[in-house]
Amino acid sequence: MDASIVGILMLDGATNGAIYALLALAIVLVFAVTRVIFIPQGEFVAYGALTLALLQLGRVPGTVWLLLGLALIAALLDAVARMRRGQPAAQVAPAVLKSLVVPVLIVAVTWWAAPRKFPLLIQSLLTLAIVTPLGPLVYRLAYEKLADATVLVLLIVSVGVHFALTGLGLVFFGAEGFRNPSFWDARFSAGALSLSGQTIIIFLVSIALIVALFLFFERTLRGKALRATAVNRLGARLMGISTSGAGHLSFGLAAFIGALSGLLIGPATTMFYDSGFLIGLKGFVAAIFGGLASYPAAALGAIFVGLLESFGSFWASAFKEVIVFTVIIPVLLWRSFQHGHADEEE
Amino acid sequence: MKDIRMLLRAATAAAAALAASAAMADITVGVSISLTGPTSALGIPTKNGIALWPKEVAGEKLNVIMLDDATDPTKGVQNTRKLITEDKVDVVVGSVTTPVAIAMADVCAEAKTPQLMLSPANLPPGKGEWSFRMPQSTAVMAIPIVEHWKKIGVKTYGFLGYSDGYGEAWLTDIKPLAEKAGIKLVATERFARPDTSVTGQALKLVAANPDAILVVASGSGAAMPHKGLVERGYPKGKIYQTHGAATMDLIRVGGADVEGSFVSSGPAVVADKLPASNASKELGTRYISEFEKANGKGSANQFGAHAFDVIIVLQKAVPLALKKGKPGSAEFRAGLKDAFETMGRTPVSQGVLNWTATDHFGYTPETGVLLKVAKGDWEVVPN
């Protein structure tokens, strides 16, 4: 083990850590706003990477049908709820149709664009457009009615959603993996270290996204509304903030971050329909470092998890996952000694 | 109203009795495979292979009953019990999933019904008296690799494999073979299929600088470790992959990085490229043409081939078993088991079988072929 090996391992760990950091931020965000421990976060990573892979092949990815299906079900539920409230059909129909415009538009554009094999960047944007709306729809269908349930109930729902999305992933993308083309093929070498363009993109995008999230929470009204909901749901509601709207927004952000992570990691590894779970779980371990509440601690935790994984795979590759997931125990112990159990339930 | 119901019931009973008596004289094959669940990717091509089975075997009508075990050992056991007690099958085929196939073996042994496993499951000694494997054991598939190493003078090798049963089986099987040939294992590293990088493992392996590295992974999952090694500067031409990776997915995902690397494989998937002297050439070619006619070009894989081979085995064993008893009887089932064990060298599309009373894997050393990736396709390496 010499300096060059340490350097290579650090770089590898930090690259993976940057992806975990994005996911950890999304998990913290969703938990803070909706109290949902969002296990399916990783599924959006797989959906993002594989949707792009299918677009690359010139095929219409199955995720657009999921989007359309979920949107239709949500619209139907919405219509029923409005009718029950006694709204006249003349009012219900336009409102419901309006909610379907965006999904139908995305499906139509994908249908038209997929066989034309547009440049990578346009396909990436299309992928984000397909996967991001899945987040709010998942929230609408799986969690919204249970918004006031206990954390445990929401966790169980998350496990269910995770299995459903993984199963659908197998249907959409098949059992075999895909590797996306690199966004930037350049290679830079500094001594033994060799830095690929993709690695630089991963770092730059991660940092840009973290800065953007920071600005969003500090500077915009919607961001502040999300923070208010995270601090106190009831209080926020009394101030006229829609907690359900906050839920939709946080899930939308989570899906966006997930899909973006998928795009970033897709060229660096082979993605399978079920790869997202483990990546998401590492993000979750990182989020635990921040007690599911602190963004900077979660981001630091993510870099730590990435480094631990990288060095773990060098020293004892057979026990790599064991090492990563065992670390969660002392962290939990430390946190519970430090904070006690006061913040368990409202 | 009551009369009609009575009439219906009588008619159903008569029909059932007729069906049962018809079934008595036919050979009934009970199939339980994973058509849903995590390993359905193996079960579905197997089902497509079974769809190619003929209507008759050795002049006897063939009944096939197919059930789905949902990749669940409990369901597999239930299916097997149902097949044996209700449908009175003569032979059980399945499952494609190792844990399910192992669970089924006990039931088959208890009911003294032969089982043709579609998974290379290892059973403890004393178990699996009635179970025969259609896929090759890893020990047989390791032979072409070690033979090639001997030929080109490899003295040391490294191992980079899945941290699961498949990786473990390869490690335990190739070690004694290589040791006998005087080839030393100098580094053993592991990874898991969903891992996003193998940088740590690759660094260590490349630092040990073995003459060859064996990558043990499956399908498109084999590409990531391969690329990881190449990225760390290990020469492509010294990397060997196992039969789990012998699919076009490796080339599709691996691209230029797998060019020039070696893969151990069963013969069926590359039948068209085999030399005419290979025992599986004709059967393999027939399998590919029949399977691709039904399922589209490029669809043939090893799982369909194992299903295809079941019929070849039955065609040889059934005439021998018919001398012992009629289909549906315990004598016939015992006769089938004896026939499997004594029928000797049997070329199938996936190699050459030679089951004996003590060896229920049975593939002979001539089974495996070594492939080389050349210009985005397979090339058979002559031995």
Architecture of domain B138-265: 3-Layer(aba) Sandwich (3.40)
Terminal-to-terminal C-alpha distance of chain B: 76
Tell me what pLDDT residue B2 has: 52
Chain A residues whose beta carbon lies within 8 Å of the beta carbon of residue B189: 317
Res B31 pLDDT > 60: yes
**Per residue in B255-308, pLDDT tens?**
889 999 999 999 988 888 899 888 899 999 999 999 999 998 888 888 899 999
Confidence of residue A184 (pLDDT cuts 50, 70, 90): confident
Res B322 pLDDT > 80: yes
Res A332 pLDDT > 90: no
Tell me what pLDDT residue B8 has: 56
Euclidean distance between CA atoms A170 and B36, whole angstroms: 11
Cα atoms in the 13 Å half-sphere on the side-chain side of B258: 30
The number of beta carbons lying within 10 Å of the beta carbon of residue A15 is: 26
Tell me what pLDDT residue A91 has: 85
The number of beta carbons lying within 10 Å of the beta carbon of residue B338 is: 16
Domain at B2-135+301-353: CATH code: 3.40.50.2300
Tell me what pLDDT residue A346 has: 45
Torsion on CA atoms B315, B320, B323, B324, rounded to nearest 10: -110
Domain spans of chain A?
3-339
Tell me what pLDDT residue A340 has: 64
The predicted model gives B214-243 an average pLDDT of 91
Euclidean distance between CA atoms B201 and B156, whole angstroms: 17
B133 pairs with which residues across the strands? Answer: B117
**Per residue in B161-188, pLDDT tens?**
998 888 888 999 999 999 999 999 999 9
Confidence of residue B39 (pLDDT cuts 50, 70, 90): confident
Res A31 pLDDT > 50: yes
Res B131 pLDDT > 50: yes
Residues of A in CB contact (< 8 Å) with B are: 5, 8-9, 12, 15-16, 19, 170, 174-179, 265, 268-270, 272, 274-275, 277-279, 310-315, 317-318, 320-321
Domain spans of chain B?
2-135+301-353, 138-265
Contact predicate B284/B312, CB 8 Å? no
Amino acid making up residue A216: F
Q: B255: which residues sit within 8 A by CB, 6+ positions away?
A: A179
Q: What percentage of chain B carries pLDDT values higher than 70?
A: 93
Tell me what pLDDT residue B58 has: 85
Res A327 pLDDT > 90: no
Res B11 pLDDT > 60: no
Chain B residues whose beta carbon lies within 8 Å of the beta carbon of residue A312: 200
Contact predicate A314/A300, CB 8 Å? no
Tell me what pLDDT residue B13 has: 56
Distance from CA of B72 to the nearest CA of A (A): 16
Res B20 pLDDT > 60: no
The predicted model gives A180-207 an average pLDDT of 85
- In three-state form (DSSP H/G/I as H, E/B as E, the rest C), the secondary structure along B74-134 is HHHHHHHHHHHHCCCCCEEECCCCHHHHHHHHHHHHHCCCCEEECCCCCCCCCCCCCEEEC
Of A111-125, A180-194, A249-263, the least confident = A180-194
The predicted model gives A23-48 an average pLDDT of 94
Q: How high does pLDDT run on average in chain A?
A: 90
CB contact (8 A) between residue A268 and residue B194:
no
The predicted model gives B93-106 an average pLDDT of 90
**Per residue in A265-303, pLDDT tens?**
999 888 999 899 999 999 999 999 888 888 899 999 999
Contact predicate B201/A9, CB 8 Å? no
Closest partner CB to B196 (pick from A16, A274, A312): A16
Q: Which helix (H) or strand (E) holds B44?
A: helix B40-50
Tell me what pLDDT residue A14 has: 93
Contact predicate A78/A85, CB 8 Å? no
Closest partner CB to A176 (pick from B197, B219, B255): B219
**Per residue in A53-65, pLDDT tens?**
999 999 999 999 9
Angle, helices B281-295 vs B40-50, to 10°: value is 100
Q: What angle do CA B33, B36, B40 make, to 5 degrees?
A: 70
Res A38 pLDDT > 80: yes
